[in-house]
Amino acid sequence: MEQTKYLVVGSSHAALEAVTAIRMHDPDGSLTLLTRDPHLPYSPTVLPYVVSGRSAPDAIFLRDEKFFARQKVQLKRGTALKALHAERNAAELADGSEIAYEKILLATGAAPAIPPIPGLDQVSYHVLRTLDDATKLNAAIKNSKQAVVLGAGLVGMHAAENLVKAGASVTIVEMAKQLTDGYFDAIAAGLIEKAFTDNGARILTGSRVVKLAPSSTGATLTLENGTTLEADLLLVATGVKPNMEYLAGSRVEHDRGILVSDTMQTSVANVWSAGDCAQAKGFYTDAKIMNAILPDATEQGRIAGMAMAEDPGLKKYPGGVPLNTYHFFGRHAISVGSSKVPEGGEMVTRFDEATGRYLKAIFSADNRLTGIYGVNEFFDGGVMCQLILRRIDLSPVKERFLANPLAVGRELMSKTWR
């Protein structure tokens, strides 16, 4: 049986960061990286730009073969983990072969969640998570006249924008009352919605598709209120679910994701997990949450790798902080932290309708920043995140901070730089 000291499953952000962390501390221990994807590592986040044609599919790779050779990493592409036999430290692959490991990292990320709508399995539809999905969608967009996007999360919105720009008439159907629910608040969503409708998209929030059927154009969708929509291109972007089917029969505890400790260790010895498939503690709550965003995948991957290599510099995971950036029709929205106003805390907003500049900041009772949101109002997300994580007292500068979060954020952070 093939043997390796470190087995890293997945080849995206969490996995690559873990490889970096392991190699910083253990330059020589045998390391195998397997991914079910046939390509070199790339980020799902870049895929909307492959769809739009802005990014060439061969220019998005995060590492090349030379990197893996240099770092003495055995890369196995197109190789899926089928079952984890943690009780005997072995990973069973799709072809039935096994690899024995000393330590394994599950960084298998997430895949599109397909809603159980009657008839969906009868029609052809697109999803967007892999490079192959993106190249298919890129080809389809060129011929689409009437597209429907199910789900107005960031994946759906990105794709919808590309479809609009490619000249299709686009309808976005979203169950929730607003767009980008969970990422941005109603005012920000309103600004995003206006940009889309100004560019000709149709937006149906608070709407649910109850039935789908094949049609001559492609598919007919029936909404709850009886309206029907025709689609020659259908994109399902209603959310994601972690890839963890291989855990069946293992004793690795999982809930909505793979449950991990502050050092990304699972409930079972020698098994770690990080990224979109992991469920780790939140920064605002000790409960374990899903925080399926890129920056957190890298953070968790780094911690997991350090823990696996027994790097004494390891620091515990502070807990997931939501962070999102979103570019739409030349505008941008940034959100850092929680939108929930803590008890005794306060929420302050500033909105200039003429320029579409919007700022919302949320403070705890003792004047610590807990969340900040901006549309067309640039601030350094990384600095804001530090203000939140370090619980820096903003009492003396609150007014100034709200007037100019960019300058005052930098000023505050700069005091911690020495």
Ligand X SMILES: Cc1cc2nc3c(=O)[nH]c(=O)nc-3n(C[C@H](O)[C@H](O)[C@H](O)COP(=O)(O)OP(=O)(O)OC[C@H]3O[C@@H](n4cnc5c(N)ncnc54)[C@H](O)[C@@H]3O)c2cc1C
Helix, strand or coil for residue 194?
helix
Residue 106's contacts (CB-CB under 8 Å, 6 or more residues apart) are: 9, 10, 81, 84, 244, 252, 258, 266, 271, 272, 273, 274, 277, 278
3-state secondary structure 33-62: EECCCCCCCCCHHHHHHHHHCCCCHHHCCC
Least distance in angstroms from the C-beta of 202 to ligand X: 21
Write phi, then psi, for 255 (nearest 5 degrees). Answer: -125, -105
Q: Does residue number 414 form part of the binding site for another protein (CB under 8 A)?
A: yes
Question: Are 305 and 20 a contacting pair, CB within 8 Å?
Answer: yes
Residue for token pair 């780094």:
302
Q: Pick one of 60, 150, 154, 309: the residue that binds ligand X (CB under 6 A).
A: 154
- What is the secondary structure of 266-326 as a DSSP string? -SSTTEEE-GGGEEEEBSS-SSEE----HHHHHHHHHHHHHHHTT-TT------B--EEEE
Coil, strand or helix at 158: helix
Closest distance between another protein and the C-beta of residue 417, in Å?
Answer: 6
Residue 128 in the binding site for ligand X (CB under 6 A): yes
- Nearest-angstrom CA–CA distance, 253 and 16: 24
Tokens of 270: 């020698």
- Rounded CA separation 273/280 (Å): 9
Name every residue whose Cβ is closer than 8 Å to that of residue 346 and which is 6 or more positions away in sequence: 362, 363
Contact 33, 40 (CB under 8 A): no
> Is position 329 an interface residue for another protein (rule: CB under 8 A)?
no
Nearer to ligand X, 11 or 144 (CB): 11
Which does residue 381 touch among another protein, ligand X, none (CB within 5 to 8 A, set by kind)? another protein
Cβ-based nearer residue to another protein, 289 or 383: 383
Q: Which of 61, 262, 318, 329 binds another protein (CB under 8 A)?
A: 61
Cβ 59 to another protein shortest distance, Å:
6
The window from 16-24, 255-263, 284-292, 339-347 that contacts another protein (CB under 8 A) reads 16-24
Tell me which residues in 78-107 interact with ligand X (CB under 6 A).
80-81, 107
Size of the site for ligand X (CB under 6 A): 37
Query: Binding segment for another protein among 44-52, 81-89, 120-128, 191-199 (CB under 8 A)?
Result: 44-52
The 221-260 site mask, x for binding ligand X (CB under 6 A), equals ----------------------x--x--------------
Residue 261 touches which of ligand X, another protein, none (Cβ within 5-8 Å per kind): none
> Least distance from C-beta 411 to another protein, angstroms?
5
# chain residues binding another protein, by CB under 8 A: 45
Cβ proximity of 278 and 257 under 8 Å? yes
Does 336 interact with another protein (rule: CB under 8 A)? yes
Give how far the C-alpha of residue 241 lies from the chain's centroid of Cα atoms, to the nearest Å: 11
- The span from the CA of 349 to the CA of 360, in Å, is 4
Least separation, in Å, of the C-beta of 128 and ligand X? 5
Site string for ligand X, 307-326 (x = CB under 6 A): -----------------x--
Distance CA 126, CA 132 (A): 11
**Site residues (CB under 6 A) for ligand X?**
9-15, 34-37, 43-45, 47-48, 80-81, 107-110, 128-129, 154-155, 158, 243, 246, 275-276, 292-295, 297, 324
Residues that bind another protein (CB under 8 A): 13, 16-17, 20, 23-24, 27, 43-46, 49, 54-55, 59-62, 294-295, 298, 302, 323, 325, 327, 330, 332, 334, 336, 378, 380-383, 385-386, 407, 409-411, 413-415, 417-418
